[in-house]
């Protein structure tokens, strides 16, 4: 089991990874990532998410082309489409989906697997490629892969003074 410091390190040392090794991700590791992800919190515990795992090379290439600001996804051995069931949670699906995306990123990082949140996606095209329903909400595509070429330097963060204010 990870020590307390290791848990904090997992949070602080995660980086967005945009270059991936072609090495496949072992089935068992992938399952463990999803297993940890499903424990994410959600409004009234509705868990309005579904994860579509794309490992077919042709489909990876087609989907990556629609990731406007994340065409690097084409390199990854696995893409995960994070899809929200809007009808199941009309008020909070967006928050729930954002939380679960971070949980997945951190779970992957725990196994040395990198990802990057891709924000700009031609969502209608990807939904068609995956045969998703019109009302489904595609939050993001998370590419999963072992980092290629090392771990990037950390991006700067605001200081604690800038973001925390105490009322004692
Ligand atoms: C909502 C959101 C959208 C993002 N969209 C993109 C994107 O489209 N392409 C990309 O390369 N990175 C994207 N990122 C990654 C951020 O650029 C990255 O998290 C930020 O620069 C901090 O770097 P770090 O994750 O390595 O700490 C996105 C992150 C978030 C949370």
Residue 89's pLDDT band (cuts 50, 70, 90): very high
Structure tokens at 123: 């969502």
pLDDT (tens digit, 9 = 90+) per residue, 4-55?
799 999 999 999 999 999 999 999 999 999 999 999 999 999 999 999 999 9
Q: What is the mean pLDDT of residues 124-150?
A: 98
117 lines ligand 1 (CB under 6 A): yes
- Among residues 17, 116, 21, 124, the alpha carbon closest in space to that of 63 is found at 124
- Among residues 25, 140, 24, 124, the alpha carbon closest in space to that of 81 is found at 140
pLDDT at 3: 82
Q: What is the mean pLDDT of the chain?
A: 97
79 lines ligand 1 (CB under 6 A): no
pTM: 0.97
Which CATH number is 16-147's, of 3.30.450.40, 3.40.630.30, 3.30.365.10, 3.40.109.10? 3.40.109.10
68 lines ligand 1 (CB under 6 A): no
Please give the distance, rounded to the nearest whole angstrom, from the Cα atom of residue 168 to the centre of ligand 1: 34
Ligand 1 atom with the smallest distance to the CA of 68 is 8
């Amino acid at each position: 089991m990870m020590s307390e410091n290791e848990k904090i390190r997992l949070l602080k040392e995660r980086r967005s990874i945009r270059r991936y090794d072609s090495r496949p991700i072992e089935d068992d590791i992938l399952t463990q990532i999803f297993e940890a992800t499903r424990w994410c919190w959600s409004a009234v515990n509705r868990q309005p998410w579904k994860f579509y795992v794309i490992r077919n090379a042709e489909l990876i290439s087609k989907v990556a082309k629609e990731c406007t600001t994340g065409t690097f996804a084409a390199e990854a051995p696995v893409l995960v489409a994070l899809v929200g069931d809007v009808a199941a949670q009309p008020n909070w699906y967006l928050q729930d989906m954002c939380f679960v995306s971070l949980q997945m990123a951190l779970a992957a990082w725990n196994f040395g697997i990198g990802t990057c949140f891709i924000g700009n996606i031609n969502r209608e095209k990807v939904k068609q490629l995956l045969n998703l329903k019109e009302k489904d909400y595609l939050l993001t595509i998370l590419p999963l892969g072992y980092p290629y070429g090392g771990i990037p330097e950390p991006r700067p963060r605001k200081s604690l003074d800038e973001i925390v204010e105490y009322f004692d």
